[in-house]
Every structure is written in C-alpha cells, then in structure tokens.
C-alpha cells in the first residue's frame, strides 16, 4: 500500500487526490449513463440517413476516411504511453 504524506493542515494529500479523481471519474461516467442521447455521436439521424442512402463508392470512401482519421490518434497515444513507460522512474534515479 502506498504511504501517504501529511500536508500543512494534517490531511493526507495523496489519498485526497485519489478520492477526488475517483469522484470526478465517477461523475463523468454517471453523466454519460444518464444522458446517452447527448453524448452519443451515433444518435445523429441526418448523418445516419445520408450515409445509408449513399452509393457503394461513397460508403467505401466513408469507411476509408474513418480509418484514416483514427490512425494518427492511435500513434500519438501509443507514443505518449511508450514515453511515459520509459521515463516512469526517471525522477527516482536523480535523487
């Protein structure tokens, strides 16, 4: 278990950060579950109808566009994760 440090007011700093983060993430999930119509991109009927009415070439182009747009975020997230993993103990080695 991680040892917590005491702040100036006597509270546990690390534990309170973890609790605030858990509450924040829980609130985001709760909002997403309560209002799925507002947060779901698939709920746009105009986009769905225009894609369904498109021809074979347009559907193929739409699928290619989706693939092309998803590739850069995947590489960016993979790169950031790799850098964080490689440098995770860098601050401990300096002291």
**Residue ranges per structural domain of the chain:** 1-39, 55-95
> How much is the pLDDT for 1?
44
| pLDDT tens digits in sequence order for the chain, 95 residues long | 444 455 555 555 567 778 888 899 899 888 878 876 665 555 667 777 887 788 889 888 888 988 899 999 999 999 999 998 888 877 766 65
pLDDT confidence of residue 36: 65
Q: Map the chain to HEC letters.
A: CCCCCECCCCCEHHHHHHHHHHHHHHHHHHHHHHCHHHHCHHHCHHHHHHHHHCCHHHHHHHHHHHHHHHHHHHHHHHHHHHHHHHCCCHHHHHC
- What per-residue confidence (pLDDT) applies to 2? 47
């Amino acid at each position: 278990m991680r040892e917590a440090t005491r702040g100036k007011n006597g509270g546990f700093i690390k534990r309170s950060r973890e609790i605030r983060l858990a509450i924040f993430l829980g609130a985001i999930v709760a909002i997403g579950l309560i209002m799925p119509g507002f947060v779901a991109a698939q709920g746009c009927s105009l986009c769905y109808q225009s894609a369904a009415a498109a021809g074979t070439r347009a559907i193929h182009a739409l699928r290619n566009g989706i693939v092309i747009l998803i590739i850069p975020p995947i590489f960016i997230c993979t790169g950031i994760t790799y850098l964080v993993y490689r440098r995770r103990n860098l601050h401990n080695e300096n002291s």
